[in-house]
C-alpha cells in the first residue's frame, strides 16, 4: 500500500523518469523524491511489459506510508 502502488506502479515496472528527468542511476529516484514538496504530485514514466506509461503519484512523508 505504498504511495507508488497507489499511483499505479506495479512490481516489475522500470521507472524511466521522474517529472521529466531521466533516472540514470539507482540512487537518482530517492534523491528526487526527497527533494519534492510533500503533497505535490509527481509524474513517473515507467516501462511495463515493453510499453511506456505515465503515472501520477502523490508525494507523502514516510510516516504516512505505513
Q: What is the pLDDT tens value at each position of the chain, 66 positions in all?
A: 788 888 999 999 999 999 999 999 999 999 999 999 999 999 999 999 999 999 999 999 877 665
CA 8/CA 16 separation, integer angstroms:
15
**Which residue reads 501520477 in cell numbers?**
56
d(CA 23, CA 26): 8
Pick the closest to residue 33 from 8, 41, 25 (CA basis): 41
The three-class DSSP label of residue 27 is coil
Q: Rounded to two decimals, what is the model's pTM?
A: 0.86
At 38 the pLDDT is 95
pLDDT at residue 66, rounded to an integer: 53
Amino acid at each position: 500500500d505504498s504511495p507508488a502502488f497507489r499511483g499505479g506502479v506495479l512490481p516489475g515496472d522500470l521507472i524511466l523518469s521522474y517529472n521529466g528527468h531521466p533516472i540514470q542511476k539507482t540512487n537518482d529516484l530517492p534523491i528526487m523524491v526527497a527533494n519534492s514538496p510533500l503533497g505535490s504530485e509527481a509524474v513517473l514514466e515507467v516501462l511495463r511489459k515493453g510499453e511506456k506509461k505515465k503515472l501520477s503519484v502523490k508525494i507523502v512523508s514516510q510516516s504516512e506510508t505505513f
